[in-house]
């Protein structure tokens, strides 16, 4: 071990290794997302509407756990999509079809889809926050000299395993429409705005040309 350390320091000394560069990829930060291609500029009015409503939704729902940038694309076709938890895109054509409550519903649903995707990529053990297993105290009758084993530790572990399996089974992924309604209510909008936005959401659901171009 000492010889290996001396050899590594020797490589640094002669310039074979950069002392500022980590020797293991484990310590390297994740690769950044690829740069976005330029998008057609939207009108100031449409961009301001999206930014105002988006900020209101995020401020009222800190549980979303993300602060994506809201970008309005100057395109007449109705389309809304996101990239990871970093960016949410909506076209000016879709914005013009919405009043404020409908716009909030469209953005809320897209935020909810973003959260669901993030949760789906998270291991179930992290989503359930399982408690620690019971401590093996060995203070029961199992260890008493000449006593009759009561198997209390075994029963506790069996109950812990049963509870853990039930908790994992209940850790279902969130339903985007349900989340969207919660976001709307916390932000002061009517949850039924999601229903009134059905028509524009249906129109946007059939469009994905910009998403294919911009989201890898």
Average pLDDT, the chain: 79
Torsional sign, CA 46, 85, 59, 188: positive
Q: Would you state the structure tokens that stand for residue 105, as one six-digit string?
A: 């519903």
Domain of 51, CATH number, reads 3.30.2010.10
Torsional sign, CA 85, 66, 30, 125: negative
pLDDT of residue 173: 87
Does the structure show a pLDDT above 50 at 28?
Answer: no
pLDDT digits (tens, 9 = 90+) for 61-79: 999 999 999 999 999 999 9
69 and 157 housed in the same domain: no
Residue 23 lies in a domain: no
Number of domains in the chain: 2
144 and 196 housed in the same domain: no
Longest distance between any two alpha carbons in the chain, whole Å: 85
Does the structure show a pLDDT above 50 at 13?
Answer: no
Q: How many whole angstroms separate alpha carbon 77 and alpha carbon 209?
A: 9
Question: What is the pLDDT averaged over residues 163-189?
Answer: 83
Return all residues near 95 (Cβ < 8 A) that are at least 6 apart: 42, 46, 49, 50, 72, 103
pLDDT of residue 40: 85
Question: What is the pLDDT averaged over residues 101-111?
Answer: 98
Residue 112 lies in a domain: yes
188 and 84 housed in the same domain: yes
Split at pLDDT 50, 70, 90, the class of 166 is low
Q: Domain span at residue 59?
A: 37-123+175-214
8-state DSSP, 99: -
Split at pLDDT 50, 70, 90, the class of 110 is very high
**Beta-bridge partner residues of 90:** 72, 80
Residue 164 lies in a domain: yes
What's this model's pTM, rounded to 2 decimal places?
0.65
């Amino acid at each position: 071990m000492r010889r290996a350390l001396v050899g590594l320091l020797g490589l640094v000394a002669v310039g074979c290794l950069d002392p500022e560069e980590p020797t293991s990829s484990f310590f390297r930060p994740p690769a950044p997302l690829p740069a976005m291609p330029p998008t057609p500029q939207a009108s100031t009015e449409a961009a301001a509407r999206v930014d105002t409503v988006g900020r209101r939704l995020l401020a009222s729902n800190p549980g979303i756990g993300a602060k994506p940038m809201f970008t309005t694309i100057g395109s007449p076709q109705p389309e809304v999509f996101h990239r990871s938890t970093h960016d949410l895109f909506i076209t000016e054509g879709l914005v013009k079809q919405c009043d404020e409550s409908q716009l909030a519903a469209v953005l809320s649903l897209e935020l909810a889809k973003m959260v669901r995707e993030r949760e789906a990529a998270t291991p179930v053990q992290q989503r359930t926050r399982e408690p620690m297993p019971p401590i093996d105290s060995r203070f029961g009758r199992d260890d008493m000299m000449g006593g009759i084993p009561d198997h209390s530790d075994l029963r506790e572990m069996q109950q812990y395993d049963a509870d853990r399996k039930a908790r994992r089974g209940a850790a279902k992924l969130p339903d985007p429409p349900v989340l969207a309604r919660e976001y709307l209510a916390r932000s002061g909008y009517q949850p039924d705005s999601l229903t009134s936005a059905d028509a524009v959401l249906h129109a946007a659901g059939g469009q994905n040309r910009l998403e294919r171009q911009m989201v890898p």
